[in-house]
């Protein structure tokens, strides 16, 4: 009984354990390698332009899944904590913006600095629903991220800094976060215990070779990143019943700052923004 109580007390602490990637750019950090070079360049230029014009620091971040960085109760918690860990935005104005996409988790969030009143959450939600999720569902994530970024600049960053009211402000949408909190915490415990939500879902997929259910995914670092060079990670999806496996390699960003490098201004978020899932 004592051991059981100790485990139950430890699990919440394990869930809270969290690590974050280090940014390599103050504009775009495409850790999941979703964006092609042309799209990334256009997005970075747009974010640089709005920073020059208004002072707003906005950053686009893609990751494969939250579990790669420890874990958190929800995409909302992860985005807020990453926002504050990096200090996105000016510390005096707190008008920074984070656009976060977790591709394998199939969820995303536009996180806003603490200076934005709640009415801007509705604008962020409208951008997600109209500009980003339709493209994501069609399998064109790069186009959705670019469209959502440009809309965020035009409909949030520029009007807010100009002192204009929130455009197209809808009735405050139902926020399921309070209702989902208890379930999210329970889900996070299961994720920590089972090795991640992605692997849990894979167990119900059928193997393309033998047709049996039960796949698993392993991440192996082949080359560690350094300050001068990027690294390589191998992601292997394999069957528990036969010899089938599929390997995908992805680049781990170098530890040095590159295009758009530098630092943020120490801004913070109190959790405002909106989320989307597809």
pLDDT in the model for residue 229: 60
What's the domain range around 233? 195-252
Whether residue 82 is found in the same domain as residue 164: yes
Predicted model pTM: 0.65
Q: Is the domain of 83 the same as that of 136?
A: yes
Q: Are 210 and 154 within one domain?
A: no
Residue 56 lies in a domain: yes
Question: pLDDT at position 23, please?
Answer: 93
Reported as a pLDDT band with limits 50, 70 and 90, residue 17 is low
pLDDT at 18: 67
Token pair recorded at residue 107:
């969820």
- Both 168 and 44 in a single domain? yes
- Give the residue-averaged pLDDT of 139-148: 97
Boundary-marking domain end, from 172, 207, 233: 172
- pLDDT tens digits for range 49-93: 999 999 999 999 999 999 998 867 899 999 999 999 999 999 999
Per the structure, the count of domains in the chain is 2
Q: State the pLDDT confidence band at 221, using cuts at 50, 70 and 90.
A: confident
Cα separation, 2 vs 12, in Å, equals 17
Residue 275 domain flag? no
Judge if 155 and 212 occupy the same domain: no
Q: Is the pLDDT of residue 272 over 90?
A: yes
- Asked if the structure places residue 270 within a domain, the reply is no
| Residue 188 resides in a domain | no
**Rg (alpha carbons) of the chain, rounded to whole number:** 20
Are residues 52 and 103 part of one domain?
yes
The rounded distance, in Å, linking the Cα atoms of 197 and 245 is 20
Asked whether the predicted pLDDT for residue 191 surpasses 50, the reply is: no
How far out from the chain centre does Cα 246 lie?
Answer: 25
Please tell me whether residues 38 and 89 are part of one structural domain: yes
Question: What pLDDT is attached to residue 5?
Answer: 53
């Amino acid at each position: 009984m004592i051991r059981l109580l100790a485990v139950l007390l430890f699990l919440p602490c394990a869930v809270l354990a969290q690590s974050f990637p280090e940014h390599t750019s103050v504009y775009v950090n495409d850790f999941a390698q979703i964006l092609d070079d042309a799209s990334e360049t256009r997005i970075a230029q747009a974010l640089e332009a709005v920073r020059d014009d208004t002072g707003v620091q906005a950053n686009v971040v893609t990751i494969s899944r939250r579990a790669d960085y420890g874990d958190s109760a929800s995409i909302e918690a992860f985005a807020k904590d990453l926002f504050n860990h990096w200090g996105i935005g000016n510390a005096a104005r707190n008008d920074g913006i984070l656009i976060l996409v977790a591709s394998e988790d199939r969820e995303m969030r536009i996180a806003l600095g603490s200076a934005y009143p709640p009415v801007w959450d509705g604008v962020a939600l409208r951008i997600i629903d109209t500009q980003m999720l339709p493209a994501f569902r069609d399998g064109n994530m790069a186009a959705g991220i670019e469209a959502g970024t440009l809309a965020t600049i035009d409909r949030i960053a520029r009007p807010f800094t100009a002192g204009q009211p929130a455009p197209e402000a809808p009735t405050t949408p139902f926020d399921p976060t309070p209702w989902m909190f208890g379930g999210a915490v329970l889900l996070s415990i299961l994720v920590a215990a089972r090795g991640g939500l992605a692997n849990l879902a894979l167990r119900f997929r059928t193997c393309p070779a033998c047709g049996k259910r039960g796949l698993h995914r392993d991440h192996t670092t082949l080359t560690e990143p350094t300050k001068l060079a990027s690294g390589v990670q191998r992601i292997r999806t394999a069957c528990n019943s036969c010899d089938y496996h599929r390997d995908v390699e992805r680049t781990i960003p170098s530890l040095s700052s590159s295009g758009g490098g530098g630092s943020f201004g120490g801004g913070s978020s109190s959790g405002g923004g909106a989320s989307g899932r597809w």
